[in-house]
Structure 1
């Protein structure tokens, strides 16, 4: 219950910051920052949907290990993808670790009924908080965007959720 309240407080803070930025004509944050398996990711706000606390997921047989199954989110069945495992970084999480994680639904405009399991929400980010950037590596997946480096030296990989949602590997969940 405390996890749901903390998530709700984060969503309220994010919404109020966005509203304040719009009303004051400030630069609006471009990304939702998340962490998954020790990696930092930036998700474009226009491509991200609602954030949900971890909920029970019904496993689906004969699917890839990164496809956790389906969850009932707001009365609809949504496919749940472990982002870290999809990208080759993750391991199986304990029930306690899952209880502290969140589900980030993809924006309905992407027309893919899926949510990404992330370990931690890290707030909103805009380009002005980064001191350097690098283009994606030549062998990076096509849904990888620019890598941004913050003042503390942390690297943040931009993920294009629209491209990810149409990537053949993402759409092919059968094992």
Structure 2
């Protein structure tokens, strides 16, 4: 640095020196947010529920029957001291109850006061989808499923329908569990 007497000149020389020796800023990397959901199977349909709409996944619990309830209401389970109504999602949608097996699971939802467990054939784990995998194409023409499908994702050859647990919990027919 030269011996400048003017303070403004000293600052300019210092700034120039810093700019010559400064490292460049790191390049900006675009981060893509994955869409994450719980994959599950209902019959032959592969569906995915938004992660925030499922509060817990349970193995098939012991149940107490509920007299006067619809066929798709399997019963009430005691889950850590809380009573949880258990509904058969396949039974509700298609009128035929799911045959419970060792892969059957219960997806627990809690939305606007509706705290319920939904029996599904199998839980397929967390599913991650990139934004470019979203599609307007729905995976089925099934009229019972269509009202609950929000969108879908295509991953390879598979089409995963996004099943809205919140929409299900707000459906008047679902809330009418008594015969």
Same fold (TM over 0.5): yes
Distance in 2 between the 1:150 and 1:90 partners? 29
Distance in 1 between the 2:117 and 2:81 partners? 14
Q: Identify the range of structure 1 (67-76 vs 26-35) with the bigger mean alpha-carbon deviation.
A: 26-35
Aligned to 1:105: 108
Deviations 1:119-174 (A, max 9, x none): 2111122332847441596x66533211333312x332211111110101110112
State whether structure 2 residue 73 is matched by structure 1 residue 67.
yes
Aligned to 2:176: 172
Structure with greater helix percent: 1
Deviations 1:25-51 (A, max 9, x none): 773442111112222111111111111
Aligned residue pairs, count: 146
RMSD, aligned CA: 2.7
Tell me if the contact between 2:129 and 2:155 (Cα under 8 Å) persists in the aligned partners. no
Deviations 1:32-76 (A, max 9, x none): 111122221111111111111111111112222211111111211
Instruction: Return 5+ residue gaps in structure 1 as ranges.
Output: 1-24
Deviation of 1:79 after TM superposition, in Å, equals 0.8
State whether structure 2 residue 169 is matched by structure 1 residue 145.
no
TM-score (norm 1): 0.70
Q: Per the alignment, in what secondary structure is the counterpart of residue 39 of structure 2?
A: strand
TM-score (norm 2): 0.69
Q: Find 1:122's aligned residue among 121, 124, 127.
A: 124
Aligned to 1:158: 162
CA distance 1:167–1:147, shift in 2 (3 Å): same
Q: Per the alignment, in what secondary structure is the counterpart of residue 126 of structure 1?
A: strand
Higher gyration radius (CA): 2
